[in-house]
Chain A
Amino acid sequence: MATQEQAQRLEGVYQAYADRLYRLSVSILRSCSDAEDCVADTFCRYLEKAPAFADGEHEKAWLIRVCVNCCRDLMRRRKLRAWLPLEDAAELTAAVPGTPALDAVSKLPEVYRCAVVLYHLEQLSIRETAVALSLSESAVKMRLSRAREMLRAELNDMDWR
């Protein structure tokens, strides 16, 4: 059984980051139920590993990175065990609230989508995004640049810088 200490540890971090991680997961996975699963897995790993953090920023970076990895794992499993008909998948996607810009982001390929969500929507710095995605800063910049090109083409005149 989970101890009282672990429940208390979860309480604080859950209050602080649950919504943020959920938003991130929904944006990457385009599915509310998968995002819930991913957030639960992230906090579960947090309890299992019980890492020692230098400060709040370190903790935030760790959680985002684990969450992104969980999302990627889930997407990989989806590829291997995809059995939902396309119509159902479309319904799941439709369940995510959005705007034309967010819809366009959700249509980006996964590698670009993660970078855009972390940098533009979660407003992490280039360096933080690079850490979360295990990439170099120049690779992140390149992905963002390409993603913006795709978004401009999709949204015509929207200003993505």
Chain B
Amino acid sequence: MPDKQSHEAYEEITMPVDLRGEILRRYTAARKARTGRIAQLSAAACLVLVIATALLLLYQRPGIYVGGNRLTASQTAVQTETVSYAGSFQRGADDAQSMRQTQSAIALKTGYNRDVCITVDGGMLLTEADGTWQYAGQSAALAAGQTVFWCPEGHGGDKPVLCTVADADGTLLQTLVLRYDETEHIYYLHTK
């Protein structure tokens, strides 16, 4: 232990000035500075948010989305072509003509046979011998020797859907992006 004299000397050390005013002044200044920093950080965060939103919008606009997912760069490097006036895909003879026009146009563009089959909400429109259409399943279309345009998500309004093209053996031939414009009743075919 240190000697008694040292202890007394140590105990004699006292605060030479009253610091209370200084402490309150520092505290007030520190609080103001903190409030200022919070305001600056908030402003910076807002700015970052605005820039990020703007960039996101700019980035999203030219993209093609399939099932809510943006296609990759190679997938988006596609050429958009108006295939044909299609009308709405409804079961029945009224749509048969427009359906066939669409079918022909797609077949022409893609080079597959004319008897293609396009899905509607998971079902298939099967070409009959007399040129009319029939609602059927994919296996029936394949059994009939038709090329199948299989759009597993349906046409889904204005959203593009990914269509797989299969031959009569069910072999995958090509993947296409097909978007149906409900207002214009036009199919847009995106091909590479």
Contacts and interface: CB of A to CB of B under 8 A. Distances in A.
What secondary structure prevails in chain B residues at the interface with A? helix
B22 A40 contact: yes
Interface stretch (B25-33, B59-67, B98-106, B139-147): B25-33
Interface string A96-129: 1111111001000000000000001100000000
A6 interface: yes
Given A18-B19, A22-B14, A97 B27 contact: no
Interface residues of A, number: 36
Interface string B73-94: 0000000000000000000000
Contact of A10 (B6, B12, B23): B23
A23 B10 contact: yes
- Identify the interface centre among B3, B11, B14: most chain A CB within 10 Å of its CB: B3
A158 B3 contact: yes
B2 interface: yes
Interface in B1-48: 1-3, 5-7, 9-17, 19-20, 22-24, 26-28, 30-31
Given A99-B5, A99-B6, A121-B7, A7 B14 contact: no
B131 to A, nearest CB: 84
Contacts of B19: 14, 18, 36, 39-40, 43
B23 A48 contact: no
A19 interface: yes
A161 interface: yes
A23 B7 CA distance: 11
6 contacts: A27-B13, A39-B19, A40-B22, A44-B30, A48-B30, A158-B2
Interface of B: 1-3, 5-7, 9-17, 19-20, 22-24, 26-28, 30-31
- Which 4 residue pairs of A and B lie closest in terms of their CB atoms, listed nearest first? A101-B6, A2-B24, A23-B13, A22-B15
